Amino acid sequence: MTQSPTQKFATQAVHAGASPDPVTGARVTPIYQTTSFVFNDPDHAAALFNLEAFGNIYTRINNPTQAVLEARVAALEDGTAALAVASGHAAQFLALHTLLEPGDEFIAARQLYGGSINQFNHSYKKFDWNVVWADATDASSFERAITPKTRAIFCESIANPGGIVSDLPGIAAVAKRAGVPFIVDNTLATPYLCRPKEFGADIVVHSLMKFIGGHGNSVGGVIVDCGTFDWLKSPHRYKSLVDPNPSYNGMKLAEAFGPMAFAIAARVLGLRDLGPAISPFNAFLILTGVETLPLRIQRQVDNARIVAEWLEKQPGVGWVNYAGLPKNPSYALHQKICPKGAGSVFTFGLKGGYEAGVRLVSALKLFSFLANIGDTRSLVIHPASTTHRQLRDEERAAAGAGPDVVRLSLGIEDVDDLIADLEQALAAI
C-alpha cells in the first residue's frame, strides 16, 4: 500500500489504499467486475469462512475495487476500517442494524436529510427501532432524550438542507456519558471540512454519491469505524459485537477484531445477510472522484460564500441562510467545527414567495433544477413545489421548506457565470 499515516490529506485523497496492480502493473485501481473469487484450497476456503483470514469470497461481502475505496475513505476520516455499500441509506441502515435490537431507541437530530427522517420514522418501526428526536444545535436536548433504552446517537455534521452546523463536541459528550456510540453523517461537510472523529464521533457515515464521488454519476454509501468505542467496556450489551456468534463458530467479534470490530460486524453480519452491496463499477467511479475531493470542496465552499454574499444584496431576496455568513446563528459553530468553509449547500428566501420560487427554477439556465446535492455542477431546487410538496404548510415551515425557500448546491464552475445566471433569473421573476 502506498499509504502512510504521515501523509497529508490531499496526498491520501489520491493514494490511500491503492497501489499498482501486482499482476498487470495497471496504475489505476481496476474494476474487479466479478461476483466470486477462487479459493487456493479447502483450508484457505475454511479460513475465509471462519473469519480466520482476510480475503475475497463473493462481491456481496467484499471486492478488491470496493476495498480500495474503503481504505481511501477510512484514511480520510482517520478511521480504523470502512465498509462501502449501495447507498447512503444502506450505510445508515447497516450502522444501526449492527447496534440495535427490537425495542431499542436511538436519538437523532431533527435537522436531517428528509429521506433519513422517513427511514427513521417509518421503515425502522418495522424492526421496532424507535427514534427520539432532538435539536442538533442544543446538546442538552440529547441529554434530556436519553432513556435506559438508548443505544446510539445520530446527527449530521452540517445538516441538509438548512446548512446548520451541529454541536458535535456537546453531543459527543452526551453520548460518552450515556455509554452509547455517536454516529455522524458527514455527507455535507466531507472530511476535508470536518473530521467528526476529532469532535468525539465513533462512527461516520456518508452518501458517497454527493461530495465524495462528487460528479453525480454513481450511488453509494460508506460506514467508517473510528475505532474509538470500547464495546467490551460499554454499560450496554451490543449483542452483534459482544455475544458469541452462532454463524461464526461462537466467535465474539469485539474480542477478535478490537478497534475494527464495528466495521467487520457491519460487513459479516449486516451486509452478508441484508445484502445492499455497492457495484465494483460504482466503487471505481467514486474512487476517481475522491482523488480531487480537496480541490473540488475548496472551490465549492468559495463559490458558496461568494454567491451567498451576493444574494444578500439583491432586492428580491428576503434572507440568506448560510453558516459562513458572520451574522448567521451557526457562524460560531462553523468556525469551531468546519473553519475551512460551511459547506456549499444553503437556502435563501424570495420576497415573491411560492410563485417567485417556481419561476426562478424555470428561469435558471446554468443551475440544474433537480433533487440532488454535491455535484460538480451547480444545482437548484424549490422544496415547497417538489421534495416537500406532500407536506402540510406547518410541516413544510418546520422542515425549513416554506413557500419562499430555494436551495442551492454550488458546483465548481466559475462563480462569475453562476452569479450572471442568478442575476438574469432574478430579473426574469
Site residues for ligand PLP per CB under 6 A = 87-89, 113, 115-116, 156, 160, 185, 187-188, 207, 209-210, 219, 221, 373
Q: How far is the CB of 210 from ligand PLP (least distance, A)?
A: 5
- Amino acid letter, residue 294: P
- Helix intervals (H) in 179-292: 190-193, 239-242, 253-257, 261-265, 272-274, 280-290
Q: How far is the CB of 122 from ligand PLP (least distance, A)?
A: 15
Rounded to 5 degrees, what are φ and ψ at 34?
A: -140, 145
**Nearest by Cα to 192 from 403, 374, 1:** 374
Dihedral class, residue 179 (left if φ above 0, else alpha if ψ from -120 to 50, else beta)? left
Q: How far is the CB of 412 from ligand PLP (least distance, A)?
A: 18
Q: How far is the CB of 302 from ligand PLP (least distance, A)?
A: 21
* CA distance between the termini of the chain: 55
State which residue, 120 or 367, has the beta carbon closest to ligand PLP. 120
State which residue, 221 or 289, has the beta carbon closest to ligand PLP. 221
State which residue, 280 or 343, has the beta carbon closest to ligand PLP. 343
Nearest residue (beta carbon) to ligand PLP = 88
Q: How far is the CB of 208 from ligand PLP (least distance, A)?
A: 7
C-alpha R_g of the chain:
22
Q: What DSSP character marks residue 235?
A: S
Q: How far is the CB of 12 from ligand PLP (least distance, A)?
A: 23
State which residue, 56 or 186, has the beta carbon closest to ligand PLP. 186
State which residue, 276 or 316, has the beta carbon closest to ligand PLP. 276
C-alpha 280, offset from chain centre:
20
State which residue, 88 or 403, has the beta carbon closest to ligand PLP. 88
Q: How far is the CB of 264 from ligand PLP (least distance, A)?
A: 22
Q: How far is the CB of 219 from ligand PLP (least distance, A)?
A: 5
Contact 92, 134 (CB under 8 A): no
H or E stretch at 77 = none
Could you tell me the three cell numbers for 73? 475513505
- Helix intervals (H) in 180-330: 190-193, 239-242, 253-257, 261-265, 272-274, 280-290, 293-312
The Cα–Cα gap between 256 and 258 comes to: 6
| CA 118 to each of CA 89, 123, 177: distance values in angstroms, whole numbers, following the listed order | 11, 7, 28
**Nearest by Cα to 159 from 116, 191, 113, 195:** 113
State which residue, 333 or 373, has the beta carbon closest to ligand PLP. 373
State which residue, 89 or 197, has the beta carbon closest to ligand PLP. 89
